[in-house]
Each structure stands twice: as structure tokens, then as C-alpha cells.
Structure 1
Amino acid sequence: MIQVKLFDEETELELEEKMNAFLKKVRADNVVDIKYHVAAFPDDQDRDQVYCFSSMVLYKK
């Protein structure tokens, strides 16, 4: 059966740490695909740039 694990973090480092912790629990030959996406948009309240780093891991269970 194919499963999906979604990650959504505010920094690249947080995303990397969470994904690596998850991937330690999954056999490498069970990973089907990994998708990665970055979104950036302005924060209207304090005029900073907001980033969203996300990924999706498709794996066999």
C-alpha cells in the first residue's frame, strides 16, 4: 500500500530535520518519491517575507 507523509515548516533546517527523522524509520527501497516546494509571500502586518518549505514523501508500507 502506498502512503503519504506531508511536511510543512518555516525554515529549511526544520524541514530537513523532520524529514531525516521520518526517513530513518522507512527502508530506502520503500521510498517511491519525494516532492519539494517553497512558497514565499509578504506578511502584511510587519512587512517581512514569509517562507513556507514543504515536502511530500510517497512510500510503501
Structure 2
Amino acid sequence: MKVAFTCSLCGGSDVLLDAWARWDIEAQDWLVADTLTQAYCRGCDGETSLVKREIAEAV
């Protein structure tokens, strides 16, 4: 089952989550090392908490 994360205030899906990234020498790319609890909603233009919602998949 797929999931979406939405803003707890407006229900919008245009949200961002703060994270730590580390440089991987072998991959030559940044890899997410940890996610933080701080979230930002572009629709509300402010801090929010995220709600995890299941998405029904087409059959």
C-alpha cells in the first residue's frame, strides 16, 4: 500500500521535512541519514506536523 504525507492543518501535500544528509564517496551523492520531526507546509506557509495517509491503488 502506498502512502502520502499531508499537512495536519490544511490537508495539502506540498510539504517538506527537515533531514540530515551525508556524503557517500562511492555513490558520489548525498544520502539521507536521518529525518527530523520539523515539517513545513508550502500551502500554509508555516510549520506543521505531518499526517500519514494510505493511498488506494488502482486495480
TM-score, normalisation: structure 2: 0.26
User: Larger % of strand: which?
Assistant: 2
Which structure's relative contact order is higher, taking Cα pairs within 8 Å and 6+ residues apart?
A: 1
TM-score, normalisation: structure 1: 0.26
User: Larger % of helix: which?
Assistant: 1
